[in-house]
Every structure is written in structure tokens, then in C-alpha cells.
Amino acid sequence: MEAILEVDGMSCMHCVNKVTKVISGFKSAKDVQVDLDKKEAKFSFDEGKEKLDDIIGAVKKAGFEAKKK
């Protein structure tokens, strides 16, 4: 499944790298692209292995606001 999250709270490339690392930490997450200007994260993942709510929760735990776009 492809997902796009709206991510608020990113202000620099360090933030982009942190969000990328958090999402990439999920085993089935692939092709993670985080865009600072659009304030979004695009990626694909296997719904049979991961839940989107868990990924959103991990991004929030890292200090950012996130929701499905």
C-alpha cells in the first residue's frame, strides 16, 4: 500500500532525516520520501505486516505531528 502522511513540525533537513529514519525503521516500509516544503512523507508498506496507525504513532513519538493525507 502507498501512503502519504502530512507531517508538521519539520523545519530543517535534520527533521527530514529523522522522519525518514523513523519510517524506514519499519521492516516493510520502502521508497520513503520526505519532503520538507510539502510537509509530507510518501512511502509504501505491507499492510499485512504493519499498521499505518503504528507508523503515524512512531512519527508522533519522534516529536512531529502526523496524519494521513
Contact (Cβ atoms closer than 8 angstroms) between residue 44 and residue 56: no
Predicted pLDDT at 31: 98
For residue 62, what pLDDT is reported?
Answer: 98
Task: State how far the Cα of 30 lies from the Cα of 1, in Å rounded to an integer.
Answer: 10
pLDDT at residue 17, as a whole number: 98
- In order of their start, the domains of the chain are 2-68 (3.30.70.100)
Q: Give CA separation, 42 vs 10, 15, 20, 55, in Å.
A: 15, 15, 10, 12
pLDDT of amino acid 35? 98
Q: What is the pLDDT of residue 16?
A: 98
Which tens digits make up the pLDDT trace of 4-57? 999 999 999 999 999 999 999 999 999 999 999 999 999 999 999 999 999 999
